Amino acid sequence: MSDRIQDPVRFIDERTGAAPALRKALRYLFPDHWSFLLGEIALYAFLVLVLTGTYLALFFEPSVGKTVYHGPYAPLDGTQMSEAYRSVVEISLTYKAGLLIRQTHHWAADVFIAAIVIHLMRVFFTGAYRRPRELTWLIGLALLFTSLLEGYLGYSLVDDLLSGIGLAIGYGVLLSVPIIGGPLGVLLFGSAFPGKGVLESRMYIAHVFLIPALLAMLIGAHLALVAARHHTQFRRDRRHTDRRLVGIPLFPAQAPRSLALLFAVMAVLFLLGGLVQINPIWQWGPFEPWLATNGAQPDWYLGWLIGALRLMPSFDVVVGHYTLIPNPFWGGVAFPLFVLGVLATFPWLERLLTRDVRAHNVLDRPREAPTRTAFGVAFLSWIFLIFAFGASDRLYVLFGVSYETLLDVFRFAIWVVPAVLFVLVRLLCRELGHTDRIERERDCAEREAGQAGAAAGAPGRVESRA
């Protein structure tokens, strides 16, 4: 007798021995909480990036060889430009659905990194990075910083004016690395900026193969580690402990939920790609090294670096005739490395300070770890203020406050606001924790009273869910 489900299962298991693993995988438990979906959003955005990026690569010409544009966009007709820029203008304006795919790709990159950052905040403020998940945390950080580079390379490839300005700044930051910066810049760019045209193919292979392959491997390792130690969980009631996991199984409950999220993320990204214009490169014109423009802003995830570059006071560290540390090093290299360093060592720093070396599977609510939460809010506000100053020229246009005043205010605020927030948030968390304790005690007392009542035969509250 044939069975439409049993037969294929048998066929596969006999040849692979997969049934025990599948049985386990189908019953893998997912704690049911919306905040666990943030990482999934990033994963699905990555999927969209790979699909749309592959399509774009079929049309993109990774060369800065000169050509002349002839096409439907009149303002550029007859303009000399690079092959790369011409091909992206054509993707955008000549090929049907080209603009949709290109804009969706760009939106997906922005959403991908945003989802990673919000996911990182969730993990930080709930203490999910603690033992035994420090490696997952480190891989996540590697993912974030690799994604920043990937995004930067992506919009640098286009060779429009905006991307050329971004590359010029990248070159300046690279040169600012003490001692080796100059030769490193020449090695990478092939000459002094803008180089002799060798950079484009180097960025291209990195953007479409090397870095995506690295990202895919990191994502695989990240997910494998999550599955190996299982998800963390919030303590909703007494069943949730560090030993015991409560959740809904992958099949049948979780699978359609995750798939629904996948399709929803794709729907949002394609809707954005169709309706909300992003980086209309045909309006910027081709890049020439003697051109720049006011009001140029990078993609959001590089704003913090622009802000840091702008906030630095004017000085180079000079030793004799030699420039040891050129100015852009502080904002462009030291600042992101410092942020990465703090985040990467945080699980161990916290362990040193709290002497809590136990393994944790139950998450903290932010209020339950006042110092961590306060530090996180202060650290984030520091980065956010620097990020906001990256758009200082836009702030000037919006609020009419002069750039010089804004600079003074921000140079003051980036130190004072985090300090004030640290104290306030710590107080707030302690206060909330105190209220929680009182409620818990009342609940306990009520339960005991109820049980005593039930024992005495009186109708009382037997169980109360906290």
Partner 1 sequence: MKLRQWLIALSALAYARRRRRREQPGPQPDGSHHRARLSRSPGDGRLVPPVPADRRAEHLVAVLLVVAALFAAGFVVVYAELEPSTLTNQLLGVCIAGSLACVAAALAVLARRLVVTEELEEDYPEPDPQAQDEVAELVREGAGGITRRRLLVGAAATAGGALGLAGLTPLLSLGPLWDTTPLQATPWHRGRRLVDTGGAPLRAADIEEETFYAAFAEGAEPDEIASLLVLVRMSPSALRLPPGRADWAPEGILAYSRICTHAGCAIELYRKPRFPALEPKPALVCPCHYSTFDPATGATVIFGPAGRPLPQLPLLIDASGYLAAAGNFSERVGPGWWGVREEPS
Among residues 113 and 225, whose Cβ is nearest to partner 1? Answer: 225
Query: Of residues 149-178, which lie at the interface with partner 1 (CB under 8 A)?
Result: 165, 168-169, 171-173, 175-176, 178
CB 245 within 8 A of CB 31: yes
Q: Return the bridge partners of 82, or none.
A: 66
Distance CA 264, CA 282 (A): 30
Of 314 and 459, CB closest to partner 1: 314
Dist CA 294 CA 394 (whole Å):
10
CB proximity list for 412: less than 8 A, separation 6 or greater:
none
Among 17, 75, 295, 459, binds partner 1 (CB under 8 A): 295
- Report the nearest approach of partner 1 to the CB of residue 246 (Å): 5
Site residues for partner 1, 325-354, by CB under 8 A, read 326-328, 331-332
CB of 370 to partner 1, least distance (A): 26
Residue 291 sits in the site that holds partner 1 (CB under 8 A): yes
Residue 404 makes contact with partner 1 by CB under 8 A = yes
Shortest distance, CB of residue 130 to partner 1, whole angstroms?
14
Length of the chain: 466
Q: In this structure, which long-range contacts are made by residues 168-176, counting pairs with CB atoms below 8 Å and at least 24 apart in sequence?
A: 168/193, 168/194, 168/289, 168/292, 169/306, 169/309, 169/328, 169/332, 172/328, 172/332, 173/309, 173/328, 173/329, 173/332, 173/333, 175/326, 175/328, 176/325, 176/326, 176/327, 176/328, 176/329, 176/332, 176/333
Task: Specify whether the CB–CB gap between 139 and 225 falls below 8 A.
Answer: yes
> Do residues 90 and 84 make contact, with C-beta atoms less than 8 angstroms apart?
no
Judged by CB under 8 A, does residue 292 bind partner 1? yes
List, as one string, the DSSP characters of 368-421: GSHHHHHHHHHHHHHHHHHHHHTTHHHHHHHH---HHHHHHHHHHHHHHHHHHH
- State the minimum distance, in angstroms, from the CB of residue 192 to partner 1: 4
209 binds partner 1 (CB under 8 A): no
Q: Does 403 bind partner 1 (CB under 8 A)?
A: yes
Note whether 309 binds partner 1 by CB under 8 A.
yes
- Please identify, using beta-carbon distances, which residue of 190 and 460 lies nearer to partner 1: 190
* Both tokens assigned to 96: 């049907």
**Site for partner 1, residues 25 to 44, rule: CB under 8 A:** 27, 29, 32
CB of 164 to partner 1, least distance (A): 9
By the rule CB under 8 A, 95 interacts with partner 1: yes
Which residues in 217-276 contact partner 1 (CB under 8 A)? 228-230, 239, 242-249, 252-253, 256-257, 259-264, 266-268, 270-275
Q: Which of 288, 431, 439, 441 lies at the binding interface for partner 1 (CB under 8 A)?
A: 288
190 binds partner 1, rule: CB under 8 A: yes
Cβ closest to partner 1, residue 30 vs residue 422: 30
Name which of residues 376 to 395 contact partner 1 (CB under 8 A): 393
For residue 186, state whether it binds partner 1 (rule: CB under 8 A). Answer: yes
Residue 11 vs 315, nearer CB to partner 1: 315
Tokens of 101: 């795919």
Site mask, partner 1, residues 407-446, x = CB under 8 A? ----------------------------------------
* Total residues in contact with partner 1, by rule CB under 8 A: 107
CA 447 to chain centre: 45
Residue 84 touching partner 1 (CB under 8 A): no
The answer to the question of residue 179 lying near partner 1 (CB under 8 A) is yes
Query: Residue 343 corresponds to which tokens in the numbers above?
Result: 């985040």
Q: CA separation (Å) from 389 to 362, 394, 399, 439?
A: 38, 9, 13, 43
Burial class (CB in 10 A: 0-12, 13-18, 19+), 442: exposed
Our finding on whether 321 is near partner 1 (CB under 8 A) is: yes
